[in-house]
Structure 1
Amino acid sequence: MSDRDPDEPLRFGLLLPNAGYYADARRVVDLARAAEESGWDGVFFWDHLMLDRRLRLPVADTWTVVTAVLAGTRRILSGPVVTPLASRQPWKVARETVTLDHLSEGRLVLGVGLGAAQDTDFSAFGDDVSLAERAARVDEALTVIQRLWSGQEVSQAGERFRLDRVTFLPTPLRPPRVPVWTAATWPARGRGALDRAARWDGIVPMARDRAGGLRGPTPEELTAVLTAVGPTEPGWTVAVPGRMAPADTAAARDYARDYHARGATWWLESFDPWSRDPREAHGWAAQGPPG
């Protein structure tokens, strides 16, 4: 379990897709500004190249949207939650993240995962990589990114990535790095994702539904996830995605308190382009998080 101060308030964010209604970056920036004004702590985004072959939804580039949101706001955090790091070049991610970290005066979060969409994020582009290989890529990529963030000269001959006398400046504003939240799915298929989360700055826990899809964990599943992770450093983040009752009800506040009591430090009210009306997102952004 994380060594969380029980008096630390739960923080609230919106988690939006980068497709459908939300593929219009100007529209999303307006929504993020409304959320900032009403008291939300962050607005975060899915990161997919495609979402559904049949629906053919419009899709926005997540990193461009995050840049627009961070440039158009003053206080809230933003970032990809989560980016499929196995499909990215780590040196490009290192450059992008430090640039956004400085642009936003330290408000970027880097969420990373293996990538839930094997077809539309990997196979559709000729990358028929196994889950085990994706995990290995993510771990090696995070090591490369961390070393490049250091500002020191880096040479590395890894199994997947090679660097020859590379120095990246500037360094991130916040020591020791841009916060890295890593995704983990419960029930776990081994220790890999749990150990990865413990090594970095936080976890975004997910659970599998009966059809094999992903959803936010129940309170009981969150307890199981954090027990399995084991001890973590003070300040470690537990960012729980999910869907609450309407934000102006006592039930929503009690729901959030239950997760907070079990170790959550962030609640991410989550939207998708299929089952939630965008008017809900605008309503939540305007009225603020449940007290």
Structure 2
Amino acid sequence: MRLGIHFMNFTLPGGAAALAPTLAKTAEAADQGGASLFTLMDHYFQMEQFATSYDPMLEGYTSLGYVAAKTSNVRLGLLVTGVTYRHPGLLAKIVTTLDVLSEGRAVLGIGAAWYEREHLGLGVPYPALGERFGRLEETIQICRQMWSDDDGSYDGEYYHLAETINSPQPIQKPGPPVLIGGGGEKKTLKLVAQYGDACNLFATDVAGITHKLDVLKAHCDEVGRDYSTIEKTLLVNNTLFADTDAFLSSMEEYAAIGIDLVSTAVPAPDPAGWVAEMTERIVPRLSQV
């Protein structure tokens, strides 16, 4: 099993002036410590479930471009891109740019978006859930087309592109992996089976995750997809890391049902120090799970 580091708390000592060096040091610690994935959120406002809408939040892809210059090995992505935040053609170009400048380390994490307040606050259209899922499917199709030899038109229900020229193409072939976030059984996991290279689930318990994976496998069977080709990732609470042996024991259970990578959000006030300590303590043993 591999480790992912999720950076989501920008309320840190030193205020705005300290954010760049803190983000850089944390990403460098993840990179040097052997983490497999480094992710940020995709929000305009901080989540109200976590803090307040007035707490600091940096734009995700700009931040990942900065992180790309500070790291060498770790994969980079957002957990996850809100489909409503960027036009699909622009999103494909942004992720391509990240892949080129990181020398082939970009991941397109994407989901249907959910934070209504930030949409309304900044004037971004916020369609109904069914339409957001329709836009999600078309966005993935457009990205796939732009990462191929087909530079022709795209004519969907929601998006109409006259040309899908994308030069240069991504370093990764046939394009950056697509990670679809969420565990919705009727729509999200079906989209994973149809289009995803990876899924991301929120940890509940082993039985709950087993059920989600069984649903995903059933969708794969329906569309003729090889279930084993999908990377299964899990987001867990960082408090679990306090007891290394207990954490690794629990990860053995998740690995046994097919989880490939476990991610966690790093805590304040010293995210870089926490990541350095945890990667040293966890990564060598987690790789044996």
Inter-partner Cα distance in structure 2 for 1:176 and 1:238: 20
Inter-partner Cα distance in structure 2 for 1:280 and 1:96: 27
The equivalent residue for 1:137 is 135
The equivalent residue for 1:235 is 229
For structure 1, which runs of at least 5 residues remain unmatched after alignment? 1-9, 207-215
1:171 to partner: Cα distance = 1.9
Which amino acid in the other structure matches residue 237 of structure 1?
E
2:174 to 176, 185, 199: 176
The equivalent residue for 2:20 is 25
Bigger share in helix:
2
The equivalent residue for 2:186 is 191
2:120 to 120, 123, 133: 123
For structure 2, which runs of at least 5 residues remain unmatched after alignment? none
1:131 to partner: Cα distance = 0.9
- CA shift in 2, pair 1:285/1:117, >3 Å: farther
Tell me, yes or no, if structure 1 residue 264 matches structure 2 residue 259: yes
Q: Say whether the 8 Å CA contact 1:217–1:240 is kept in structure 2.
A: no
Give the TM-score of the pair, scaled to structure 2: 0.84
Q: How many equivalent pairs are there?
A: 265
Bigger share in strand:
1
Inter-partner Cα distance in structure 2 for 1:247 and 1:280: 15
State percent identity of aligned pairs: 25
Tell me, yes or no, if structure 1 residue 38 matches structure 2 residue 33: yes
SS in 1 for 2:163: strand
Tell me, yes or no, if structure 1 residue 223 matches structure 2 residue 210: yes
Write out aligned runs for 1:160-171 (5 A).
Answer: 160-171=158-169
1:125 to partner: Cα distance = 3.1
Moved over 6 A (4+): none
Which amino acid in the other structure matches residue 198 of structure 1?
A
SS in 2 for 1:72: coil
Inter-partner Cα distance in structure 2 for 1:83 and 1:29: 21
Q: Say whether the 8 Å CA contact 2:9–2:268 is kept in structure 1.
A: no
Inter-partner Cα distance in structure 2 for 1:165 and 1:178: 20
Give the TM-score of the pair, scaled to structure 1: 0.84
1:248 to partner: Cα distance = 6.0
Q: Say whether the 8 Å CA contact 2:181–2:199 is kept in structure 1.
A: yes
SS in 1 for 2:135: helix
Listed one character per residue, the Cα deviations across residues 102-153 of structure 1 (whole Å, up to 9, x for unaligned) are 1112111110001131222x23234241111111111111111111111322
Cα RMSD over matched residues? Answer: 2.1
Which amino acid in the other structure matches residue 235 of structure 2?
P
